[in-house]
Amino acid sequence: MVTIYDIAKETGYSVTTVSKALNNYSDVSSKTKRAILDAVEEMGYLPNSHARTLTTKKSWTIGVIFIESLGVGMKHPFFNAVIESFRKNVEVLGYDLLFASRMINNQQKSYLEQFKYRGVDGVVVVCSLFDDVQVKELMDSSIPTVVIDLHSKESAVVNSDNFAGSYKAVEYLYSLGHQSIAHIAGHATTFAGQERRNGFMTSMKTMGLDIPDEYVVNGDYFSREGGYKAMKQLLSLPNPPTAIFTAADSLAIGAMEAIKDAGYQVPDDFSVIGFDDIELAQFINPPLTTVRQDTELIGEESADLLIKQINSQQKIAQSVVVPVDLVIRDSCKALVKEESSKPS
Amino acid sequence: MVTIYDIAKETGYSVTTVSKALNNYSDVSSKTKRAILDAVEEMGYLPNSHARTLTTKKSWTIGVIFIESLGVGMKHPFFNAVIESFRKNVEVLGYDLLFASRMINNQQKSYLEQFKYRGVDGVVVVCSLFDDVQVKELMDSSIPTVVIDLHSKESAVVNSDNFAGSYKAVEYLYSLGHQSIAHIAGHATTFAGQERRNGFMTSMKTMGLDIPDEYVVNGDYFSREGGYKAMKQLLSLPNPPTAIFTAADSLAIGAMEAIKDAGYQVPDDFSVIGFDDIELAQFINPPLTTVRQDTELIGEESADLLIKQINSQQKIAQSVVVPVDLVIRDSCKALVKEESSKPS
DNA sequence: GATAAGAACGAAAGCGCTTTCGATGCTGAG
DNA sequence: CTCAGCATCGAAAGCGCTTTCGTTCTTATC
């Protein structure tokens, strides 16, 4: 490995001067700078990030963690889309992303410990779970943190406008003539799940619609199976809803399977609408109407928020919410008035 | 930040002894070790990875890069599944994953330079492109490398048995009575694309089937659009095939869209079969019959291969190919003999 | 009681870099 | 000619850790 000393020896200058030339200090003449840079080029010198970090306390590294209940990690379509966008936004600044393992010296450590050990400049966590102690610890620590998909008054967070998303969904269903609208909810320990549920309840009330207790059923951890089971439950009701708003596309997909398995059709018999707009949504049958989360923007906003904290050396308690859009595909249909066919 | 010196002062021992206690050296009595460990616990000491790496030359970090033509990065369903599996396999050993940015001191650098700068212990690259210079550079370098989805005699590589996969697909189609089978190929600069194409050609010959030139059409970079265009082309032929084997699920999906747009049905009018078995495959309509790549195993094998190199301090030129499976769903159908209806 | 062997500890160098502060030489102003 | 001021450069300390090589002290051996 060629070090700063080697190129000092080669050029006849001191390591100090070499270091300064490399870091664009003003007190080195252009002639010697030229000579040093030439030698650097010729000898194939590369700085050592660890040595540099050791003295500067800046690692140009951002830690990232996923906290999700499915256990799919990087395969999570929403999470990886957000992180990909985040990555693009920070890489141009020179930051690398570190996916941590929580093992130091063969001992299990917390994320906070791991990141302190690694000396990251900041960390981005994608976390929907409300009360993860490790994430809490991170947010309370001194290291700059931004968490995505979680809400907090005291920390830097960014998430979609879940409430508004629910509203748009319900409003759309209502405009289609639906009155009996059910909700397959995300897990209650999850901020997004809770918020979408709140949005549903509120907008239903705003529309003046009834919400029977049985119409709000838990889909568990945003899994397909959860959606399937929840829909089964809905179908077994004496008065099933005509439309279902689910808290996630995966839930919607599960629900649609249940509907098909029961011999019904979407959207003819039931309208369903999802949340997320994962890639899958447009390819299933029928293509899913859903509330789209803007992963690009979420990634960008979180990058901004984190970088701002890193640069200012202080935590910023700011909550940015990014707007969502309803994307209309074919899983919802206007309700034909039952009154005409079935006079009461 | 509490350092080794602080806990030395606290306990009255030298930093040497503290360091030894921390690293389980045998020449420290159990009593002093106990005392030191207690102080460590009490003072909340954490080692500094950069300082440690600086002296040991071991960073417990593995660099990862994606080289893919779509520009989707972490969103690539095959790549992220492989990397997720890889991560699980190395994290228990204490390795962290570093997604590099190629920016050092505000200057654009190559991956090799970036990784040397970062002092990673090894790098895993997921790369389908044949002749990427940066990947070549990496493979030729002294740093342990494993590359996934690429073939090479001189390096550590792991990939699916693309050839056998094609064979299974063609064989299946043939068993269904299809004789006119076309291939929508992946890009030729891609190892997987090339190999699947080879497998197609060879197995067709083995089955004694004809391959008109027009039956092998390029799907470009494994994109849906590529599949769409290629299928359009196939449909415009005077004698279109009855079945299409595509080099990727994305291509198959595009092809199926083209088929539908032309007013035909899958699998009634055309059988199509994909490659990969991405999550989407089971949810599209009809569910796609496809050749499944075992992402779990690929990740595991690459982890093994890389770790072996890291531990042995030398490059290993080994090529492991992991088996694929045909998963049969609903996009293929037995061909009804045309002879009966259309006597020649 | 003298000696060898082992157990427990520490001094110091070194990993590759940055940064402070001082030294040196040169210029032009007076 | 003198001196202030500027432009260049370098010595040295320090970042936090590991590791080699001694040193000291205890214990067992004859």
DSSP per-residue letters across B107-157: EE--HHHHHHHHT-SEEEEEE-BS--HHHHHHHHSSS-EEEES---SSSEE
The residue type at B37:
L
Model confidence at A131, in pLDDT bands (50, 70, 90)?
A: confident
Average pLDDT over residues A50-61: 97
A119 neighbourhood in chain B, CB within 8 Å: 48-50
Reduced to 3 states, what is the DSSP secondary structure of residue B220? coil
Pick out residues whose CB falls under 7 Å from strand D: A 12-17, 27-32, 51, 54-55; B 1, 3-5, 15-16, 19-20, 22-23, 27, 45-48, 51-52, 54-56
Q: Shortest Cα distance from A77 to chain B (angstroms)?
A: 7
Interface of A with B in 287-306 (CB under 8 A): none
Q: Shortest Cα distance from A217 to chain B (angstroms)?
A: 24
pLDDT in tens, chain B (344 residues): 999 999 999 999 999 999 999 999 999 999 999 999 999 999 999 999 999 999 999 999 999 998 887 788 899 999 999 999 999 999 999 999 999 887 777 788 899 999 999 999 999 999 878 788 999 999 999 999 999 999 888 899 999 999 999 999 999 999 999 999 999 999 888 899 999 999 999 999 999 999 999 999 998 878 899 999 999 999 999 999 999 999 999 999 999 999 999 999 999 999 999 999 998 899 888 999 999 999 999 999 999 999 999 999 999 999 999 999 999 999 999 987 654 444 43
Is A338 a residue whose pLDDT tops 60?
no
How much is the pLDDT for A189?
Answer: 86
Is A109 a residue whose pLDDT tops 80?
yes
Q: Is residue A185 left, alpha or beta, with left meaning phi > 0 and alpha meaning psi from -120 to 50? A: beta
Average pLDDT over residues A124-130: 87
- Identify the bridge partners of residue B97 per DSSP, sorted by sequence position: A99, B62
pLDDT in tens, A228-253: 999 999 999 999 999 999 999 999 99
Q: Shortest Cα distance from B60 to chain A (angstroms)?
A: 9
pLDDT in tens, A189-229: 889 999 999 999 999 999 999 999 999 999 887 889 999 99
Q: What is the 3-state secondary structure (H, E, C) of A262-315?
A: CCCCCCCCCEEEEEECCHHHHCECCCCEEEECCHHHHHHHHHHHHHHHHHHCCC
Taking the model in full, what pTM does it have?
0.92
- Identify the bridge partners of residue A185 per DSSP, sorted by sequence position: A218
- Beta strands of B214-297 (E only): which ranges? 216-218, 243-246, 271-276, 289-292
Is A104 a residue whose pLDDT tops 80?
no
Residue with tokens 């960014």: A158
Residue B55: nearest nucleotide (C-alpha to C1'): C15
Q: What's the length of chain A?
A: 344
**Cβ distance of A75 and B80 shorter than 8 Å:** yes
Chain C nucleotides near the protein (CB, 7 A): 7-12, 14-20, 22
Q: How far apart are CA A267 and CA A243, in angstroms?
A: 9
Q: Residues with Cβ < 8 Å from A332, sequence gap 6 or more? A: A172, A173, A176, A243, A267, A271, A272, A273, A289
Angle between helical axes of B249-261 and B224-235 (0-180°, round to 10): 50
Average pLDDT over residues A49-53: 97
Measured CA distances, B251 to B187, B280, B338 (Å): 11, 12, 28
Model confidence at A130, in pLDDT bands (50, 70, 90)?
A: confident
DSSP type of residue B60: -
- Concatenated DSSP letters for A9-46? HHHT--HHHHHHHHTT-SSS-HHHHHHHHHHHHHHT--
Residue B8: nearest nucleotide (C-alpha to C1'): C10
Q: Which residue is nearest to nucleotide D10 (CA to C1')?
A: A14
Average pLDDT over residues A102-112: 84
Interface of A with B in 177-216 (CB under 8 A): none
**Cβ distance of A117 and B47 shorter than 8 Å:** yes
B253 neighbourhood in chain A, CB within 8 Å: 283
**Cβ distance of A46 and B93 shorter than 8 Å:** no
Reduced to 3 states, what is the DSSP secondary structure of residue A316? coil
B59 neighbourhood in chain A, CB within 8 Å: 50
Query: What sign does the dihedral B165-B167-B173-B178 (CA atoms) show?
Result: positive
Measured CA distances, A63 to A74, A141, A143, B301 (Å): 14, 14, 11, 26
How much is the pLDDT for B22?
Answer: 96
Is A187 a residue whose pLDDT tops 90?
no
Provide the token pair at B110: 């190559």
Cβ-nearest to B101 among A74, A81, A94: A94
Q: Which domains can be identified in chain B, with CATH numbers?
A: 4-47 (1.10.260.40), 61-160+295-322 (3.40.50.2300), 162-293+327-336 (3.40.50.2300)
Cα distance between the two ends of chain B: 87
The residue type at B298:
I
How much is the pLDDT for B179?
Answer: 95
pLDDT in tens, A246-298: 999 999 999 999 999 999 999 999 999 999 999 889 988 899 999 999 999 99
- Identify the bridge partners of residue B326 per DSSP, sorted by sequence position: B291
Average pLDDT over residues A99-115: 87
Q: How far apart are CA A90 and CA A144, in angstroms?
A: 14
Provide the token pair at A168: 């748009």
CB A290 within 8 A of CB A128: no
pLDDT in tens, A150-180: 988 899 999 999 999 999 999 999 999 999 9
Q: How far apart are CA B22 and CA B29, in angstroms?
A: 12
Q: How far apart are CA A274 and CA A332, in angstroms?
A: 10
Provide the token pair at B231: 């299928």
**Cβ distance of A99 and B97 shorter than 8 Å:** yes
**Cβ distance of B117 and A77 shorter than 8 Å:** no
B115 neighbourhood in chain A, CB within 8 Å: none
Q: Shortest Cα distance from B142 to chain A (angstroms)?
A: 12
Is A339 a residue whose pLDDT tops 60?
no
Q: How far apart are CA A264 and CA A318, in angstroms?
A: 46
Q: Name the more confident of B69 and A62.
A: A62
**Cβ distance of B54 and A50 shorter than 8 Å:** yes
Interface of B with A in 59-118 (CB under 8 A): 59, 61, 72-75, 77, 80-81, 83-84, 87-88, 90-106, 113-114, 116-118
Cβ-nearest to B284 among A105, A118, A284: A284
Provide the token pair at A129: 């779970």
